[in-house]
Amino acid sequence: MRSLLHLSLALLLAACGGETPTDGDASTDGGGRDGSAPIVDAHVEPVDGAPGDLDAGELDAGDLDAEARDAGDLDAGAVDAGPPPRCVGAPDCTGVTASPTEHRMESLDGCSFVLDAPGAPDPRVDALVARAGGARTISDVLGALNRTGRAGISTRNADRMSSHAWVGFRWNDGDETVDYWYPQGITGSSDANAAGRVDGRRVVLVSWYHNTDARPTKGTRLSLVDFTDPTSIQYRHLLLVTPSGTAADPSFVSTETGSGAALHAGGIVWFGDRLYVADTTQGFRVFDLSRIFEPTNTDDTERIGFSGARSDAHGYRYAVPQIARYQLASDSCPIRFSFVGLDRSESPPVLVSGEYHSGDADGRVARWALDPATGWLAASGGRVYAVDAALAAQTRMQGGVTYEGVYYLSSSSQTASSWGRLYRTRPGLDSAITAWPYGCEDLYVERAERLIWTTAEHPGTRDTLGIPLQGR
């Protein structure tokens, strides 16, 4: 698959306080075999028709690498690739909604899926940051972590993952049990830059959405976690916000969908100063981690925005502004963005997005090339085409990523006991299965440690954990 990506891009350029973590035992679930059935580890029994756990929200229709530079104020023309793309004419949707054989991935043409690149930068962003007293950085937030997590994971998931050398942590008691904030996306310092560290620290970043029927919602928040010492977990929440008002009189609101629900943020990717967030029906939203700002007040969890000299972000000390959106083009074949991951083993790196389907295996995954010099998706003529795509052939996908040519797909509630599964596959091969925790969500690859991570969403078992990568 790596060679296919390289060929595709070449053509494009040419044409255009708790438990202590244990090491556990080495994984026992082995490699692939021929035949139509997936390879199953000792902790998973295939059960068809098991109930799903789709959240209501899902139903809603650092520094750059050494060669990179800050592109926060670039407009669409500045990040455009220039030459005509490899994809010409209207996208061909033939076969993109076909039903695959379950557990056997099938390749699709990436040209079927296209995003509109963002236009000129929003002048309200700099204006609201200036009004708030100037930008703060990730380094500032890392110096002000205010919550203490717990080393290790819950007994329930530790038993599930007993055949794997897991590492992980839990939130503090309040965040572990809160019933109106749900964790979803995961990324970290290994995504953020080639070195894999931010300020010399091993950092994990997790998104949560405000799960409520009330309107307005508090939108989406992030947890910045220092995992440098796995026995001493410190973190802090930040609020994602959307600019409002005008450049002359800027303000900000919670990050929500068009229907008024909180942005689900089912997947996130930290790349340089950018934070890419999956926007389920639309594409990707982009937030700027170099333009974090501090509201003046943290004493009122219900207030948001500026009111005279006062500003609030639902009680959070730090807010992260949205700076751009990539939206599905009007002529694109339909596809949803339930999650997003990053593959830094490819050159250039790629975002991996995919679809949650609860009752069938028809969900697709698509990969989108990043321009490492700017941090934006590689565009041509204001359009971003998927490099490649595939019918994933798995139900209930909650996360997906590729690494060294292997697709890793996180699926929830596929067994009678609602356990998750982690699939390892390539187009044309049967999937291999690894045990995965209850409530599993998005995926993140920590390259230097060769770990694949997920975060679990359900109160009481909100574990964030990684296990060693396995090939396919």
Q: Residue 398 class from Cβ within 10 Å (0-12 exposed, 13-18 middle, 19+ buried)? A: buried
Residue 416 tokens, joined: 């009678």
Residue 148's SS3 state is strand
**β-strand partners of 268:** 277
Residue 57 tokens, joined: 């929200």
**β-strand partners of 351:** 342, 368
User: pLDDT at position 359, please?
Assistant: 87
Q: What is the DSSP letter of 318?
A: -
Q: What is the DSSP letter of 375?
A: S
- How far are the Cα atoms of 150, 175, 233, 339, 370 from residue 171, in angstroms, in the given order? 6, 6, 9, 22, 32
Phi/psi region, residue 58 (left: phi>0; alpha: psi -120 to 50; beta: rest), is: alpha
Q: Residue 75, Cα to own-chain centre: how many angstroms?
A: 24
What is the mean pLDDT of the segment spanning 412-434?
92
d(CA 84, CA 94): 23
d(CA 2, CA 346): 7
**What is the pLDDT of the chain when averaged over all its residues?**
86
Q: Residue 228, Cα to own-chain centre: how many angstroms?
A: 21
Give the H or E element holding residue 383.
strand 383-385
User: pLDDT at position 92, please?
Assistant: 93
Beta carbons within 8 Å of 344's beta carbon, 6+ residues apart: 190, 191, 194, 445, 447
User: pLDDT at position 417, please?
Assistant: 78
Residue 235's SS3 state is strand
Over residues 303-319, the pLDDT tens digits come to 999 999 999 999 999 99
On the question of pLDDT at 428 being above 90, the answer is: yes
d(CA 138, CA 273): 9
- How far are the Cα atoms of 10, 142, 261, 350 from residue 116, in angstroms, in the given order? 22, 34, 23, 17
d(CA 403, CA 5): 12
On the question of pLDDT at 88 being above 80, the answer is: yes
What is the mean pLDDT of the segment spanning 116-139?
97
Prediction pTM value: 0.85
What is the mean pLDDT of the segment spanning 177-184?
97
- What is the four-CA torsion angle of 210, 213, 214, 216, rounded to 10 degrees? 60
What is the mean pLDDT of the segment spanning 375-399?
96
On the question of pLDDT at 341 being above 50, the answer is: yes
d(CA 436, CA 226): 24
What value does the CA radius of gyration of the chain take, rounded to a whole number of Å? 21
Q: Which amino acid is at 291?
A: R
Residue 44 tokens, joined: 């998973």
Residue with tokens 């002529």: 331
Residue with tokens 């795509």: 389
- 3 or 146, higher pLDDT: 146
Extents of the domains making up the chain: 17-468
Residue 111's SS3 state is helix
User: pLDDT at position 5, please?
Assistant: 44
Predicted confidence band of residue 414 (pLDDT cuts 50, 70, 90): confident
d(CA 157, CA 439): 10
Phi/psi region, residue 233 (left: phi>0; alpha: psi -120 to 50; beta: rest), is: beta
Residue 437 tokens, joined: 């925790």
Q: What percent of the chain has pLDDT over 70?
A: 82
User: pLDDT at position 4, please?
Assistant: 44
Predicted confidence band of residue 283 (pLDDT cuts 50, 70, 90): very high
